[in-house]
């Protein structure tokens, strides 16, 4: 599933990938950085159409797996703090529900103000946390994609692809309504090519590559009226 933090970035990434693949043999050489704002070209150098899940390609590389796992560890103290704040708030709400009719008007008003204050504090902290997570995830994705782009261009040219489109998002967010990905998807070959040129070994502790950035998987849910749902 696409991480909600990466989706704005992937909208730009998809344009970059489609545009870059359409370049002729004069496109950026292997290993060069191609900016995400490259102008779209009108045609490719081959005849086939392929697909790639950009998000999956990024997070399944050895480098992506390592960096997203490191980010999750880095963010663990903040997640723990937010969880503790949430537990305190829930305890006060439970107290209001179970003991509210037994409290004096002054004590009841004090408790309600405590709940309101902690609610607002948790909401702000949760929003700041999610923004920080999103920014750091996008930084990782941008860095990997800049190195992955030339590999994708070369693979497309070597295998006569005229276009490769991103399928990270489902239709109708993506223009791809249906595709037989078993026959035309190039995600795994690109991941393999990236790992082959990378000096980053596979993470020893991970039996399988993550399907989404680890930092988004355990985001605490602030008890706001519309809490931010963590990625599944």
At 97 the pLDDT is: 93
At 173 the pLDDT is: 80
SS3 204: coil
Look over the chain and give the mean of its residue pLDDT values, rounded to a whole number: 77
Torsion of CA 206, 212, 216, 217, to 10 degrees: -60
Backbone angles phi and psi of 96, in degrees to 5 = -65, -40
CA distance 26 to 36: 18
Six-digit token string for 28: 């950026």
Could you state, in order of their start, the residue ranges of all structural domains in the chain? 7-217
At 183 the pLDDT is: 84
At 76 the pLDDT is: 96
At 205 the pLDDT is: 60
Q: What pLDDT, in 10s, does the model give residues 38-84?
A: 333 334 556 799 999 999 999 999 999 999 999 999 999 999 999 99
Among 84, 7, 74, which Cα is nearest to 215's?
74
Distances (CA, A) of 113 to 77, 82, 195: 27, 20, 54
Answer for the pair 92, 118: CB distance below 8 angstroms, yes or no: yes
CA distance 7 to 215: 14
Percent of the chain whose pLDDT exceeds 90: 56
At 216 the pLDDT is: 38
At 38 the pLDDT is: 38
At 182 the pLDDT is: 78
CA distance 232 to 215: 12
Among 135, 132, 147, 157, which Cα is nearest to 198's?
147
Among 114, 132, 140, which Cα is nearest to 213's?
140
At 219 the pLDDT is: 38
Answer for the pair 48, 188: CB distance below 8 angstroms, yes or no: no
At 204 the pLDDT is: 77
Residues in the chain predicted with pLDDT less than 50, given as ranges, are 1-2, 4-5, 7-43, 206-207, 210-232
User: Whole-structure pTM over 0.85, yes or no?
Assistant: no
């Amino acid at each position: 599933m696409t991480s909600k933090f990466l989706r704005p970035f992937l909208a730009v990434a998809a344009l970059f990938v489609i545009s870059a693949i359409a370049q002729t043999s004069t496109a950026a050489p292997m290993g060069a950085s191609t900016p995400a704002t490259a102008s779209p070209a009108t045609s490719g150098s081959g005849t086939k159409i392929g697909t790639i899940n950009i998000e999956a390609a990024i997070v399944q590389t050895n480098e992506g797996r390592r960096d997203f796992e490191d980010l999750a560890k880095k963010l663990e103290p903040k997640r723990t703090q937010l969880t503790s704040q949430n537990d305190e708030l829930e305890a006060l709400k439970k107290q209001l529900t179970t003991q509210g009719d037994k409290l004096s008007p002054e004590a009841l008003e004090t408790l309600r103000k405590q709940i309101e204050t902690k609610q607002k504090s948790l909401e702000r902290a949760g929003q700041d946390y999610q923004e920080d997570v999103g920014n750091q995830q996008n930084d990782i994705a941008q860095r990997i994609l800049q190195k992955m782009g030339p590999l994708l261009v070369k693979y497309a040219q070597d295998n006569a692809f005229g276009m490769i489109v991103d399928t990270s998002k489902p239709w109708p967010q993506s223009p791809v309504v249906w595709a037989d990905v078993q026959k035309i998807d190039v995600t795994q070959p690109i991941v393999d090519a990236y790992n082959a040129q990378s000096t980053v070994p596979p993470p020893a502790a991970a039996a399988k590559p993550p399907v989404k950035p680890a930092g988004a998987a355990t985001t605490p849910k602030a008890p706001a009226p519309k809490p931010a749902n963590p990625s599944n």
